[in-house]
Chain A
Amino acid sequence: MSGTWIALLGFGGMLVLIAMRLHVGIAMFVTGCLGYVYLSSTSALLGFLKTNAYNLFATYTLSVIPLFILMGALAEQTGLSNALFRAAAASIGQVRGGLAMAVITACTAFGAICGSSVATTATFGRAALPELLRHKYHDGFATGTIAVGGTLGILIPPSVILVIYAITVEQNIAKLFMAAFVPGLLATLFYFGTIYLIVRRRPDLAPPGPARQKGDRRRHLKTVWPAVLVAILVVGGIYGGIFTPTEGAAVGTIALLVIGLAQRTLGWAALRTSILNTASTTAMIFVILMGSEIFNAFLALSRMPMQAAEYITSLGMPPYGILAAMLALYILLGAVMDELAMILLTLPVFFPIVSALDFGMQPDDLAIWFGILLLIVVGIGLTAPPIGLNVFVISAIAKSVPIARTYRGVLPFIAADIVRLVLVLLFPGLALGLVHLLT
């Protein structure tokens, strides 16, 4: 059998295993090992595994992942997410739909500290949802808004998924963070617009919130300054080239630790919870990375990605057509698949194809632009039915709200996301402008 067929067989087998409830990472690991042995030899596999896991875990650029996750966990445990939401609610909560906009505002700020959408959704599910429901917000609108707001955790840099993309395609993480900035803020604006349009059509969904009280602003400023300071320090430091993303994550983590200890908002129990949450999320990501490492080694042996790229480019279709088809496929895949696994599985095949297309831009720019397009698509996949991880997270917190109602609440925002995707597709400058300006 030729390598391409073996690779396709491997893909199929792996998907069947995943559908039968095997862990995503282990499914990649098992099929990758079998394919590797078939195309090479058992002794070659054993040699590969001798140091692979250690070398992977000891990759300097990957050390940013546990640190960013720890930073987000500390921010939640020290009550910063609560403070952000309360401050945002106090300043814009009194208008119709204002509390939903406050969720988006707080998620945006929190997204600059936290690199994970699941963590952001879970955090605001606990911090904001009870408030929204107390003020008689429609439950599906409230959970939908929080599920969408959670995606800002990855849309606003730092972003774990962008780190993984950057490492996979050998791009500069800091540049990808810069490129994500404007599209991320656009997401915030678009979500604001969506909320505005929704409550104009259906005022019953979102009654006005509590009136602002005198002195509120100063009181809240006192509670949110650590979050703002850390966000500016980390994101600004990385953008300004003052430190590498790993250093930024370390600075943010230590800053939150020190602030938490000094303000007595972080005790031993909270620190222990932060660490255990970090442990489980980090390990989940690294098990998938370990599996994808061996699966990709198998794919490389099969030479299938190269042949697929050659085949697609030989068809002579217009580059934008291929790219649009690819993004549409990603939206479909993202609706039924875990986003991290989707990226790690498809990039070895898709990235060579994209690199071979001619958009009249530098290879680095193309890689960065494609990464941002992918990030938007991943954000859609995190909330889109039937399988949106963020929706599952919020459903686990709000057990009384039927999941179908949350999905209905999410739909208008997905429309806004697709508009944003098309905008960034038509105007690459939205992503690349800041990169060129800062470097």
Chain B
Amino acid sequence: MDETIPTASPEPQRAPSMIERAARILAVFGGVVALAVAGVVVVSVVRRWLLSAPIPGDFELAQVGTAVAVFAFLPYCQIVRGNIVVDTFTAHLPVRFRHRIDGVWDLVYAAAMALVAGCLARGTWDMLASHEVSMVLRIPVWPGVAFGAVTCAFLAIVALSTAWSLLRTRP
């Protein structure tokens, strides 16, 4: 199985669209959150060493932070086509034909992520209703799930836009 190599973007060079820019900003935001998670964990480790008093609930912050970061990374991955794709059996097909197939699969991806977004939205609603909070810090769980719903909805839009750019090219 072949995979697209993360450093090489197959997209032709052109001015980035609004959607691309938004996905990039979201990814950088996710990276900053990941760095913040690392920072909190390090402070907690140091406090545990020196004062034998770690930050209470540090692992909960790491959990929420990681979830937010990963959700924020998803749309960017689709923009640079970083997802693993098998090229073994289709490499000999004409480029235009392969673009058609990829475009159709992007539509499938968009539909799947729209489904996930919808389900996460309902999950958010349930958690709001049941006032679900984390074990130690008692922070509400719903904002994290809501963030997931929003980013997955945005990912569906990104996949629609990549599908559109792959499918509209006329011979």
Chain A residues at the B interface, C-beta cutoff of 8 Å: 18-26, 29-30, 33, 46, 49-51, 53-54, 57-60, 62-63, 66-67, 70, 118, 122, 243, 246-247, 249-251, 253-254, 257, 272, 274-284, 286-288, 290, 336-338, 340-341, 386-387, 389, 392-393, 396
Q: Is the interface of B mostly helix, strand, loop or mixed?
A: helix
Is B74 engaged at the interface, CB distance under 8 Å to the other chain? Answer: yes
Measured CB to CB, the nearest residue on chain A to B88 is A387
The reply to whether A54 and B37 form a contact with Cβ atoms under 8 Å apart is no
The reply to whether B28 and A276 form a contact with Cβ atoms under 8 Å apart is yes
The reply to whether A338 and B1 form a contact with Cβ atoms under 8 Å apart is yes
Separation of A343 and B145 alpha carbons in the complex (Å): 28
Is B22 engaged at the interface, CB distance under 8 Å to the other chain? Answer: no
Separation of A33 and B31 alpha carbons in the complex (Å): 31
* Interchain CB contact (< 8 A) of A338 among B3, B44, B101, B102: B3
Chain A nearest CB from B94 CB (Å) reads: 14
* Interchain CB contact (< 8 A) of A122 among B5, B42, B87: B5
Separation of A49 and B119 alpha carbons in the complex (Å): 6
Separation of A386 and B88 alpha carbons in the complex (Å): 9
The reply to whether A63 and B77 form a contact with Cβ atoms under 8 Å apart is no
Chain A residues positioned under 8 Å from B59 (CB to CB): 60, 246
The reply to whether A30 and B77 form a contact with Cβ atoms under 8 Å apart is no
Chain B nearest CB from A339 CB (Å) reads: 9
Q: List 25 A-B contacts (CB under 8 A).
A: A21-B85, A23-B85, A25-B84, A49-B115, A50-B119, A51-B120, A54-B120, A54-B123, A54-B144, A57-B71, A58-B144, A60-B59, A63-B37, A122-B7, A250-B42, A276-B76, A278-B31, A278-B34, A280-B73, A284-B6, A284-B77, A284-B82, A287-B77, A338-B84, A341-B1
Chain B nearest CB from A178 CB (Å) reads: 20
Most chain B CB atoms below 10 A, which of A22, A25, A58, A279: A279
The reply to whether B3 and A29 form a contact with Cβ atoms under 8 Å apart is no
The reply to whether A275 and B38 form a contact with Cβ atoms under 8 Å apart is no
1/0 contact string of B31-72 vs chain A (CB within 8 Å): 110110111011011000000000000010011111101111
* Interchain CB contact (< 8 A) of A70 among B8, B38, B101, B112: B38
Measured CB to CB, the nearest residue on chain A to B109 is A26
Chain A residues positioned under 8 Å from B66 (CB to CB): 57-59, 62-63, 66
Is B128 engaged at the interface, CB distance under 8 Å to the other chain? Answer: no
The reply to whether B145 and A254 form a contact with Cβ atoms under 8 Å apart is no
Separation of A18 and B83 alpha carbons in the complex (Å): 12
The reply to whether B148 and A57 form a contact with Cβ atoms under 8 Å apart is yes
Q: Number of B residues whose C-beta is below 8 Å from A? A: 66
Chain A nearest CB from B37 CB (Å) reads: 7
Q: Which of B105-164 contact A (CB under 8 A)?
A: 105, 108-109, 112, 115-116, 119-120, 122-123, 126, 144-145, 148, 152
Separation of A251 and B2 alpha carbons in the complex (Å): 34
Separation of A281 and B116 alpha carbons in the complex (Å): 21
* Interchain CB contact (< 8 A) of A279 among B31, B44, B98: B31
Separation of A312 and B162 alpha carbons in the complex (Å): 45
The reply to whether B64 and A58 form a contact with Cβ atoms under 8 Å apart is yes
The reply to whether A253 and B77 form a contact with Cβ atoms under 8 Å apart is no
Q: Is the interface of A mostly helix, strand, loop or mixed?
A: helix
Known: A70-B35, A281-B6. A54 touches B67 (CB 8 A): yes
Separation of A386 and B82 alpha carbons in the complex (Å): 21
Separation of A279 and B26 alpha carbons in the complex (Å): 10
The reply to whether B73 and A59 form a contact with Cβ atoms under 8 Å apart is no
The reply to whether B69 and A66 form a contact with Cβ atoms under 8 Å apart is yes
The reply to whether A341 and B38 form a contact with Cβ atoms under 8 Å apart is no
Measured CB to CB, the nearest residue on chain A to B142 is A54
Chain B nearest CB from A174 CB (Å) reads: 15
Separation of A34 and B64 alpha carbons in the complex (Å): 30
Most chain B CB atoms below 10 A, which of A26, A257, A290: A26
Known: A51-B123, A247-B45, A392-B2. A21 touches B90 (CB 8 A): yes
Chain A residues positioned under 8 Å from B126 (CB to CB): 50
Chain B nearest CB from A376 CB (Å) reads: 20
Chain B nearest CB from A279 CB (Å) reads: 4
Chain A nearest CB from B155 CB (Å) reads: 9
Measured CB to CB, the nearest residue on chain A to B33 is A66
Separation of A122 and B69 alpha carbons in the complex (Å): 24
The reply to whether B31 and A19 form a contact with Cβ atoms under 8 Å apart is no
Chain B nearest CB from A187 CB (Å) reads: 23
Separation of A337 and B76 alpha carbons in the complex (Å): 24
1/0 contact string of B1-38 vs chain A (CB within 8 Å): 11101111000000000000000100110111011011
Separation of A58 and B70 alpha carbons in the complex (Å): 9
Given contacts A21-B98, A63-B62, A287-B77, 8 further A-B contacts (CB under 8 A): A49-B119, A247-B42, A275-B30, A279-B73, A286-B73, A287-B74, A338-B3, A341-B1
* Interchain CB contact (< 8 A) of A22 among B5, B45, B82, B108: B108
Chain A nearest CB from B28 CB (Å) reads: 6
The reply to whether A337 and B105 form a contact with Cβ atoms under 8 Å apart is no
The reply to whether B108 and A396 form a contact with Cβ atoms under 8 Å apart is no
